[in-house]
Amino acid sequence: MLTQDAPPSAEPRMKITAKDVHCYFGPVHAIKGITFAMPEHSVVAIIGPSGCGKSTFLRSINRMHELVPNSRITGTLALDGEDIYGMDAVVVRKRIGMVFQKPNPFPTMSIFDNVAAGLRMNGMRDKKRITEIVERSLQQAALWNEVKDSLSKSGVSLSGGQQQRLCIARTLAVSPEVILMDEPASALDPISTAKIEELIYELKKEYTIAIVTHNMQQAARVSDHTAFFYMGELVEYDVTKKIFTVPAKKQTEDYITGRFG
């Protein structure tokens, strides 16, 4: 018999809240009225078939959607209750970091400089402080032990999995509060994927994480809450265990059991 987890005694603080969010690419209505909230220090997975709007929604959280020509967004997205679209976009992207599908270290920079780049761009000049933050970020990204003796080597000399952890270290260096991950392990082998997943599990102690993934098993393994998107709509959002054992909606059940369509 399955029992639902008992509700937590204190309501967790909501880090990101979305209210009736609609996103458009020209005439295309990609996101249709998404409303949900991401609890602080937790991992939310967004799953759904290709074209369901999960990446678009993720990109609307740190205001990357608006960089696409002819794009438009309505509704409210808030970080700690403050309207994200009323804030300076640069500040938003500093507080809400992003890791992409394909590892994208700066190709001309060393491992050290890749991690330090964001700090320097923000005007930090104190070399000792930069060194401290680079080391801490690489440690948090579980990469320090592998690169501590080769910090001056090029970032692209690393393996794919290491490059992705380097990109995570680069994101962590500027002390974001939220990390958005768009398919962060889909280009990696199973061992590197397991490392990234373990890293996500560890990072949620200090950060709030949203991860878009095609891999439902990955969503099950790493997330606390799961949102199922379909054709731009949020079909179901609940505790991950519930989504993967007793989903409330038939569409969710059909998708996670592979009976879709």
Partner 1 sequence: MERHFQRDLEQLKSNVIKMGSLVEQNLADALEAVLKNDATTASKVISADGAVNKMEIEIDNGVVDLLALQQPVASDLRLILAIQKINNDLERIGDHAVNIAESAYRLVETPQEEPLLEIPNMAKIAKEMFQQALDAFIHLNAQLAQSVLESDDRMDALNRGMNSQVIRMIKKDQKTLEGGLELLRISRNLERVADLTTNIAEEVIFHTQARIVKHHATEKG
Q: Which is nearer to partner 1, 86 or 190 (CB)?
A: 190
Does residue number 195 form part of the binding site for partner 1 (CB under 8 A)? yes
Least distance to partner 1, CB of residue 175, Å: 23
> Helices (H), strands (E): how many in the chain?
10, 10
What six digits make up the tokens of 106? Answer: 């700066």
Among 68, 117, 124, 194, binds partner 1 (CB under 8 A): 194
User: Looking at beta carbons only, is 35 or 245 nearer to partner 1?
Assistant: 245
Q: Mask: binding to partner 1, 211-230, rule CB under 8 A, as x and -?
A: ------x--xx---------
Binding region for partner 1 (CB under 8 A) out of 12-20, 76-84, 153-161, 198-206: 198-206
Q: Which of 161, 228, 234 is nearest to 198 (CA)?
A: 161
Apex 43 CA angle, 227 and 120, nearest 5:
120
Across 79-94, b (16+ Cβ under 10 Å) vs e yields beeeebeeeeeeebbb
Task: Check binding of 67 to partner 1 (CB under 8 A).
Answer: no
Residue 241 binds partner 1, judged by CB under 8 A: yes
Of positions 153, 198, 248, 257, contacts partner 1 by CB under 8 A: 198
Give me the DSSP letters along 4-38: PPPPPSSPPPEEEEEEEEEEEETTEEEEEEEEEEE
- Which residues inside 132-151 make contact with partner 1, applying CB under 8 A? 142
Under the binding rule (CB under 8 A), the answer on residue 240 touching partner 1 is yes
- Shortest distance in whole angstroms from residue 159 CB to partner 1: 15
- Of 86, 68, 66, 67, nearest to 76 by C-alpha is 86
205 binds partner 1 (CB under 8 A): no
CA angle 26, 28, 32 (to 5 degrees): 120
Q: Which is nearer to partner 1, 44 or 78 (by Cβ)?
A: 44
For partner 1, the closer of residues 61 and 169 by Cβ is: 169
Provide the angle, in degrees to the nearest 10, between the axes of the packed helices 160-173 and 111-121. 30
Q: Which residues bind partner 1 (CB under 8 A)?
A: 1-3, 142, 194-195, 197-199, 201, 217, 220-221, 240-241, 244-245
